Structure 1
Amino acid sequence: MAIENIPEIYLSNTKKRPDLFVYDFKMTNDVVKSKVNLGMNMFSFLQVGKKQVHFAGNSIAVNKDQSLLLKKGNWLWTELLETEAIYYCKLLFFSEKVLKEFLEKHTEARSILRDEVPYFVIRNDAYITSYLNSLVTIHEAPAIFMENLLSVKFEELLLYLINKYGDTFKLYLQSLIVKETSAFKKIVESKIHSNLKLEEIAFLCNMSLSTFKRHFIKEYDVSPGKWLQNKRLQKAKEMLEQGDCKPSDIYLDFGYNNLSNFSIAFKNKFGFSPSKISL
């Protein structure tokens, strides 16, 4: 699957990336785990549909009642239609330059955000609805005024969200201009119990699959496929032993396409089939 460079694919002039940019994204087909290189921090105001994003350390799912502020980086996006035959969200991209200018103007010296995460979930309300309508109005303004109007609207949005979420949001904004130093092991081990493929985990580590495999063997002294399989099967065994689920309930969650393959791998590791645990 090709990597989508965003917002470049939405810009008519890719040589000049604006500091603030609004784009109306619409689609009529589900997209599952598309590879996205997000080159700017971005607000995603979901209007219709569902969205899930896999990050290096975790994942988040939202619906039309929520919006996301996403940190730039390599992410896997899943965007799903709901009851209507269209998916629609309004995207607001902003550069580190305008964010730094805002923080210098409206906040004190930077504090430390203890649990740094690449997203912030925003609960949609009457203000958000009104704000999105105002962005539509801005697009109707002459181009000469567009940049200044958008700058004012960006500042208005951040001030509102700081007022709504307080220091939590302020600290998150400050974390966006800090270089992220995610450890390779931290990324890998956060994906042990996901159903992501090796290629997808490598992408989240910002590596090619071959580079990822070499780095993995250097760190763990075993192939990533074997290591992940053992970790996932061990977790599956623990879940089955708790008695709350059956093999047919969980095989997809651990990266197996069908129950038969899961059962064979499970028996090869533990010497008995998973169905015997739930008997």
Structure 2
Amino acid sequence: MPIENIPESYLKDKKQTPDLFVYDFKMTNDVVKSKVNLGMNMFSFLQVGKKQVHFAGTTVAVNKDQSLLLKKGNWLWTELLDTETVYYCKLLFFSENILKTFIEKHSPNFLQTKEEVPYFIIRNDAYIIAYLNSLSTISASPPVFMDTLLAVKFEELMLYLLHKYGRKYEVYLHSLIIKERSPFKKILESKIHSNLKLGEIAFLCHMSLSTFKRHFVSEYNISPGKWLQDQRLNKAKSMLEEGILKPSDLYLDFGYNNLSNFSSAFKNKFGFSPSEIQT
């Protein structure tokens, strides 16, 4: 699957990237785990549909009642139609320069957090709905006024969220300008119990699949496929022994396309099938 560079692919003038950019994203088909290189921090205001995103060390899912502020970097996006036939999301991209200007003006004292959360969930309240309507209105303005109007609207939004979410949001904004990348092992081990494929995990690690495999073997002295399978089967066994779930409830979550393949891999590792586990 090709990597999509956003917002570059949405810009009419590919040579220039504005400090602020609004784009109405619509689609009529489900997209599962598309690879996205997000070149700017971005508000994703979901209007119709469902969205799930994977970042280096975390996963988050939202519906049309929620929006996301996403950190720039490599993401896997799953975007699903809901009851409507069109998926619709209004995207607001902003540069690091304009973010720094806002922080210097409204939150100059450095705030640090040990948490590395690359997203912030926003509730789509009455203000957000009205704000999105206003963005749609100014999109019809003459181009000469757009930059000024968007700058005012961006500051308005940021001040509202700062007031609503307080220190939690303020700390998150500061985290967006810290130049850090999660270590290889932390990213990998956070995805052990997911159904992501090796190529998708490599993308989140900012590596090609071949580089990822070489790096993995040097770190763990075992192939990544075998290691991940063992880790996931151990977790599946533990969950089955708790007696809450059946094999048919969890094989998809551990990367298997069908119950038969899961049962065969499980029996090869432990010597008995998952259905034989007594609780």
Q: TM-score range by the shorter chain?
A: over 0.9
Q: Which residue of 1 aligns with 2:158?
A: 158
Q: Which residue of 2 aligns with 1:118?
A: 118
Amino acid at match of 1:80: L
Structure 1 runs (4+) deviating above 6 angstroms are none
Percentage of pairs with the same residue? 75
Structure 2 unaligned runs (5+)? none
Could you tell me the TM-score, scaled by structure 1's length? Answer: 0.99
Aligned-partner Cα distance in 2 for 1:144–1:277: 69
Aligned-pair distance for 1:44? 0.3
> CA-to-partner distance for each residue in 1:104-152, whole Å, 9 max, x for gaps?
0111321112212110000011100110011011111111010000000
Could you tell me the TM-score, scaled by structure 2's length? Answer: 0.99
SS at match of 2:68: strand
Aligned-partner Cα distance in 2 for 1:108–1:95: 18
Aligned-partner Cα distance in 1 for 2:252–2:215: 27
Given that 1:246 and 1:278 are in contact with CA atoms closer than 8 Å, whether structure 2 keeps it comes out as no
Given that 1:26 and 1:88 are in contact with CA atoms closer than 8 Å, whether structure 2 keeps it comes out as yes
Please give the residue correspondences for 1:32-71 in structure 2 after superposition, counting only pairs within 5 Å.
32-71=32-71
Amino acid at match of 2:44: S
Q: Which residue of 2 aligns with 1:137?
A: 137
Aligned-pair distance for 1:67? 0.4
Aligned-partner Cα distance in 1 for 2:28–2:260: 34
Q: Which residue of 1 aligns with 2:212?
A: 212
Aligned-partner Cα distance in 2 for 1:127–1:113: 28
SS at match of 2:90: strand
RMSD of aligned Cα (Å) = 0.8
Q: Which residue of 1 aligns with 2:78?
A: 78
Q: Which residue of 2 aligns with 1:107?
A: 107
> CA-to-partner distance for each residue in 1:5-35, whole Å, 9 max, x for gaps?
0001100111100000000000000000000
Amino acid at match of 1:68: L
Aligned-partner Cα distance in 1 for 2:136–2:171: 29
Given that 1:216 and 1:224 are in contact with CA atoms closer than 8 Å, whether structure 2 keeps it comes out as yes
Please give the residue correspondences for 1:1-279 in structure 2 after superposition, counting only pairs within 5 Å.
1-278=1-278
Aligned-pair distance for 1:181? 2.6
Aligned-pair distance for 1:278? 4.4
Aligned-pair distance for 1:197? 0.2
